[in-house]
A and B are shown apart, each in its own frame.
Chain A
Amino acid sequence: MPVLEFEEKTLDDAIAVACEKFKLPREQLEIEIVSKGSSGIFGIVGAKKAKIRVTAKTLSLEAAAERGKEILTEILTHIDLPTVIESEIREDQVCLNIISNGTGLLIGKRGKTLGALQHLVTKILHREVGENVSLIVDTENYRSKREMSLTELAQQLSEKVKKSHRSLTTGPMNAQDRRVVHLALKEDLEVRTKSKGEGNLRRVVIYPVRKGKKPQKAAAPE
C-alpha cells in the first residue's frame, strides 16, 4: 500500500487533501500526525505547517482505475498508434476503453492482443497495489460484441441440447468466455452447464436436465 505525506496549513486541510488524493473517505485512511502545526502568534510569527503521513487501508477503485490507465497508456505509447483511454467503474470492475483509429490491431485474432494487454495491466497493477483488482480492457466495443455472440451461441447450443437430449460441448474457451456462457444459461432450467478440461483446453459442457427429476441448477463455477 502506498504511503504518502501531506503538508498543509492546518491539520484539517492536510486530511482533506489526502482524501482527495487517495479518493477515499477519511475512515479508510490511516493518518499519522507528524506535526500538528500552529498558526503562531496572530498567524504570522512562528507559523508551522501541519504534516501528516497517510496510508490507505483499502485501495479505492478510482485510484486503481487511474493507475491502470497510466500503465496501459505507457504500454500503448510504445505501439505506434494514436490512442485515447477512458476509464470507468462498472460493478466493482475497472473498465479501460481504448479509443483508437479502429483497426483490429489491438484486438488481434479472437481478442488475443486485447487479452494480452489486459493480462499485463492486471498483473502490473496487482504488483503495485498488492491487491487483486478486476480489470477489463476493451476497444471498439469488442467485449460486448463478443459477449453478445457468445450468448447467442449458448442459446443455440441449448436449443440443440433440449431437442436431442444429449449433452453438447463448446470449443475451448478462456475463463471470461466460459463465464458468459454459464451466465447466459443460468436462467434456463432445462439445461445445466459445467466446465470441463484442463488449462487452455477447458470448455463448457451443456447437459440436458431430465424431466421428472427435480430441476436443479449446478452452481456456475468461475
Chain B
Amino acid sequence: MKDLISYIAKALVDKPEEVGVTEIEGEQTSVIELKVAKEDLGKVIGKQGRTARAMRTILSAASTKIKKRSVLEIIE
C-alpha cells in the first residue's frame, strides 16, 4: 500500500525526493501518511481535492483486495 501511494505521489510532484510516506498498521485499518514539500501540496490534493480523492479511491480498491482498510492522510 505504501509503495502505491509513494509511486503516485512521486510522479505527481516537482520534488520527488521530498516525498515521505509512512504506514501505521493496525489490526484491520492502516493509516498511510503522506508528506510532500509545501509547494507540492496542491499537486497531490488537486482541484477541489480531486487528485486526493482519486488516490483514496485506488487505495481503498487495493486494500479491499487484501481484505483490509486503509486511510490516506495528507500531512501539512
Contacts and interface: CB of A to CB of B under 8 A. Distances in A.
Interface of A: 71, 74-75, 78-81, 105-106, 108, 112-113, 115-117, 119-120, 123-124, 127-128, 199-200
Interface of chain B, helix or strand or loop or mixed?
helix
Interface of B: 1, 3-4, 7-8, 11-12, 46, 48, 50-51, 53-55, 57-58, 61-62, 64-66
Contacts, number: 59
5 contacts: A71-B11, A74-B7, A79-B65, A108-B61, A199-B48
Contact of B61 (A105, A124, A127): A105
Given A78-B4, A79-B4, A116-B54, A106 B11 contact: no
Given A75-B4, A78-B1, A120 B51 contact: yes
Contact of B7 (A78, A117, A128, A200): A78
B56 to A, nearest CB: 8
A71 B10 CA distance: 12
